[in-house]
Structure 1
Amino acid sequence: MSDVEPTETFNPWSVVNLVFHHLAEQGLHPVLGETGDPAAAAADLLMAMGVRPGPDSAGPGTPGVQETLAQLRRTMMPGIE
């Protein structure tokens, strides 16, 4: 057994979305990446909060996850595509 704890990662956009919704609920209007691609700014925000950003390709948009979701829809909701 290893003494090293596994590192948990999160999709950067999931955490940024959560933070931005919280700020908006407080009446604030956050802006991220106003000069272009917000990916670097999002990763910086996460790292400042102590969260290690995962790859953008991880999460519900990956082909494997999409196929699993499609299979679930076919099983649970036949006839709806």
Structure 2
Amino acid sequence: MDAEQPGTPNESYNPWTVVNVVFHHLAEQGLHPTFSEAGDPGVQAAELLRALGIAAAADGNRQDFQRKTDELARIRAAVFGEP
């Protein structure tokens, strides 16, 4: 997930960490937030993130994505002799 603001670096966050921080803050204020008590909380969590102006990146965490891409390239080179 990316948080882009003009003039700031593009940062990557785990979306569940952001949701967890919001929930803890609400609980500290005496509220008892819940998401989808009988099912997948993903839809409500995504709505919360959008409301905060946070959009999930299609490739997930960029650093993890790049490490996986590099590792796959290394394996391809070792197995198939690709550069």
Q: Report the TM-score when normalising by structure 1.
A: 0.54
RMSD: 2.7
C-alpha distance in structure 2 between counterparts of 1:36 and 1:24, whole Å:
21
Larger Rg: 2
Counterparts in 2 of 1:54 and 1:39: CA distance versus 1, 3 Å: farther
- Percent same amino acid among aligned pairs? 55
- Structure 1 position 31 matched with structure 2 position 18: no
Unaligned regions of 5+ residues in structure 2, if any?
1-6, 68-83
Is the CA contact 1:23–1:29 (under 8 Å) kept in the aligned structure 2? yes
Offset of residue 33 of structure 1: 1.8
Q: Report the TM-score when normalising by structure 2.
A: 0.53
Unaligned regions of 5+ residues in structure 1, if any?
65-81
Which structure has more helix as a fraction of its residues?
2
After superposition, the C-alpha distances for 1:18-76 in whole angstroms (9 at most, x for unaligned) are 00000000010000122311111111110011011246x64xxx7x7xxxxxxxxxxxx
Runs of 4+ in 1 over 3 A off after TM superposition: 5-9
Local SS of the residue matching 2:27 = helix
Number of residue pairs matched by the alignment: 56
Counterparts in 2 of 1:40 and 1:9: CA distance versus 1, 3 Å: farther
C-alpha distance in structure 1 between counterparts of 2:12 and 2:56, whole Å:
6
